[in-house]
Amino acid sequence: MQLSTKHLLGIRELVPRDIQLILDTATQFKEVLQRPIKKVPSLRDVTIVNLFYENSTRTRISFELAEKRLSADTINFSASGSSVSKGETLLDTVNNILSMKVDMVVMRHSASGAPHFLAKHIPAAIVNAGDGINEHPTQALLDAFSIREKLGTLEGKKIAIIGDIMHSRVALSNLYLLKKMGAEVMVAGPPTLIPTYMKEAFDVRVEYNLQKALEWCDVANVLRIQLERQNQVLFSSLREYNLAYGLKKSLLDRLDKEIIVMHPGPINRGVELDSDVADSKQSIILQQVENGVAVRMAVLYLLAGRGESQNN
């Protein structure tokens, strides 16, 4: 049994069996991470480059840890301070790195589709660590892993994705994944941040009222307001956004059930999520980060196991 794909470009390209395989493998890696020696020799002969054209804390550290825990050799590349500023193209940069016998590329880029472009032109396996406003597949996988860990299954569970749907690659990857795994999905937020085609394109519920969204869902996955990707005024102020769409303790206390609160990070405290909610018992934000390493280990392990790297 192996993945149906050579790269992890997005959740869109995966079949449900792939997702199941990644999540099941991640369960075994999570156990590895509880051991006294949290390291296995599986990828001893694999070299991985982490190519980050965009800023990142969690994803980058998480990938790097995952690679180290698998005993892979790693090199880190960030666009700032590299020859990118001298005008080198993406393809040239990557081909130069690959000529030094690198097997896998983990990449983040601000242009949607950058990893897909690369996949057409280079022989190495590519893992998308976020491309523009397209996808962030490992985030969706770790979200799914965390939900499954809490609720046992994804099937039939009600997940509300709340906030900046339009600019969020996390939202898109989550939508693909949750629909493929049989969850019920709702997107909630201000009308200006939810594309009008959402309902038809993804067959999801759309809700503009936060209170109603919370009453409906088992899990609230709250997204960051992506100010860096917004080039027009889509809501009047952060303060007003917080008043209408910020997740507050008073809102959660009003519910007759305890829902799970998630956030992919980094949090804008006091904008989409209030501090007392982010740090509450209901929030599994730090578990998400913890699970991220196991999920990324699973992805790298399964892709390397396809044995299509150039050193072979």
> Between 28 and 57, whose beta carbon lies closer to another protein?
28
Least Å distance, CB 23 to another protein, is 12
Cβ(11)–Cβ(140) under 8 Å?
yes
Least Å distance, CB 1 to another protein, is 6
Least Å distance, CB 137 to another protein, is 19
Least Å distance, CB 178 to another protein, is 24
CA distance 174 to 285: 16
> Between 94 and 294, whose beta carbon lies closer to another protein?
294
CA distance 305 to 13: 18
> Between 215 and 308, whose beta carbon lies closer to another protein?
308
> Between 125 and 142, whose beta carbon lies closer to another protein?
125
CA distance 168 to 147: 19
> Between 13 and 45, whose beta carbon lies closer to another protein?
45
> Between 196 and 312, whose beta carbon lies closer to another protein?
312
What is the sign, positive or negative, of the torsion defined by CA atoms of 252, 218, 8, 112? negative
User: What are the tokens at 65?
Assistant: 């840890």
User: What are the tokens at 156?
Assistant: 């039939």
> Between 40 and 111, whose beta carbon lies closer to another protein?
40
User: What are the tokens at 147?
Assistant: 């939900």
Least Å distance, CB 46 to another protein, is 8
3-state secondary structure of 19: helix
> Between 17 and 239, whose beta carbon lies closer to another protein?
17
Number of Cβ within a 10 Å radius of residue 13? 17
Least Å distance, CB 74 to another protein, is 17
CA angle 113, 301, 72 (to 5 degrees): 95
Judged by the rule CB under 8 A, the positions of this chain that interact with another protein are 1-2, 21, 24-25, 28-29, 31-32, 35-37, 39-43, 45-46, 70, 301-302, 304-307, 309, 312
Cβ(68)–Cβ(37) under 8 Å?
no
Least Å distance, CB 296 to another protein, is 14
CA angle 135, 306, 139 (to 5 degrees): 25
Give the contacts of 65 (CB within 8 A, at least 6 positions apart): 293
CA distance 234 to 243: 15
Distance of CA 29 to the CA centre of its chain: 18
Least Å distance, CB 173 to another protein, is 24
The edge-to-edge listing of strands for the beta sheet with 158-162 is 205-207, 184-188, 158-162, 219-222, 260-262
